[in-house]
Amino acid sequence: MNVKMDGVEMDVLAVWREGSVVKMVDQRKLPHSFEIIDLKDHKETAWAIKVMVTRGAGSIGCAAGFGMAQAALEAAYLPDKDFMVYLNDAADTIRATRPTAANLFKAVDKCLEAADWGKVSIKVENIVKAAEYILNDDIKATEEIAKAGGRLIKDGFKILTHCNAGALAYIGLGTALAPIRQAHRDGKNVFVWVDETRPRGQGARITAWELEQEGIPYALIADNAAGYYMQRGEVDMVIVGADRIAANGDTANKIGTYEKAVVAFENKIPFWVAAPGMTIDLQTKTGDNIEIEERDPEEVTKMWGLNDAGEPTTISIAGVGTNARNPAFDVTPAKFIDGFITEHGLIQRPFIEAFYSLFASPGIPPGNKYAGT
Ligand code: RUB
């Protein structure tokens, strides 16, 4: 993405690799400062995923792939058996960072598959290639999502989005923001309602910043305000990203997405999920089988930002010792979703049949009780 910060213009990705070093935009600091952080080995990369230096399903998938590439380079001098032990340990470390997004697990698996033949030097080469392939494939997927989803957006549309599913969350054009970018670039007059997205404020801190960078009109709203605008007829469609989509279409995304979907359904507002095949997990049959990450309650009781003097500050918004819970995601049942915007175009009901025909072979397993959902 093209970034203008403090008068300097640069073209950066959320995550990339330079030799054995993984580089990331430090999303914890946005929008107040734009910093790139260097991760020197796979353990540092795993740490960066866990503490959300980078975040968003696509970006953590790419970071996971690059972490595996780092592990392969670190162990390149070992005999095959020890190399594989090191690689599998690294895979476990990376898998243990964040449980919900399918992309992370698929990226680790793709890198392990790349190591299933050849001598160590070949394995290292293939793992590095696999990690780069994931990134390039993701970028292409977002371009297709932009084209397919852009056609859904009519001139004058007001679109609600939740969390950040932009270029920082999914490398390239993003997922939910890709069709919006396309419509804007096509000269359509679009406007975006940006949910603040408590507790970490990905909407306020990152989506608003991305839209500002691109000159797309938007307004930041408190999470609680989305229903108000939907009820007043000021939302034409909702587009969100996804962290994991089950085979029946149930979709895990940032906490609060479910509520928006129910209110959109009640108000007959189209609710679309933009996500590529990397986020669709056919091994997970329904949303009940998706593991939901629960994060530190301090993310709920405290907030971070700049004080009036412009200094980064953390403040407590709840009393000392307040009991809090912090689920990071929720699951929107497929019945509230009008369709999916994917790299293969728009998918409407029955979701499972389209998912199996586009994202798996040879098709729906015989007797699958979820067929037709
Ligand atoms: C990110 C989040 C995003 C999805 C979709 O959560 O829920 O909406 O990842 O984004 P977190 P994308 O900030 O906790 O990682 O599909 O574009 O990656």
Q: Which CATH number fits domain 148-359: 3.40.50.970, 3.40.50.10470, 3.40.50.1820, 3.40.50.300?
A: 3.40.50.10470
* pLDDT bucket at 334, cuts 50 / 70 / 90: very high
Q: Which of 197, 127, 129 is nearest to 162 (CA)?
A: 197
Q: What is the pLDDT of residues 128-181, one digit of tens each?
A: 999 999 999 999 999 999 999 999 999 999 999 999 999 999 999 999 999 999
| Residue predicted with more confidence, 236 or 373 | 236
Q: Where are the beta strands (DSSP E) in the chain?
A: 2-5, 8-11, 15-18, 21-25, 36-39, 158-161, 191-195, 218-221, 237-240, 244-246, 251-254, 271-274, 280-281, 302-306, 312-316, 329-332, 339-342, 345-347
User: Whose alpha carbon is nearest atom 10 of ligand 1?
Assistant: 165
Residue-level pLDDT at 370: 47
User: Whose alpha carbon is nearest atom 17 of ligand 1?
Assistant: 165
Residues at CB less than 6 angstroms from ligand 1:
55-58, 163, 165, 169-170, 174-175, 202, 241-243, 253-254, 275, 279, 328
> Which are the catalytic amino acids?
243
In the chain, what are the domain boundaries? 2-142, 148-359
Residue-level pLDDT at 361: 60
As a whole number, mean pLDDT of residues 80-87 equals 98
Q: What is the pLDDT of residues 279-296, one digit of tens each?
A: 999 999 999 999 999 999
Reply yes or no on whether the pLDDT at 69 is more than 70.
yes
CATH superfamily of the 2-142 domain: translation initiation factor eif-2b, domain 1 (1.20.120.420)
- Give residue 356 CA to ligand 1 midpoint distance, Å: 23
- Give residue 236 CA to ligand 1 midpoint distance, Å: 22
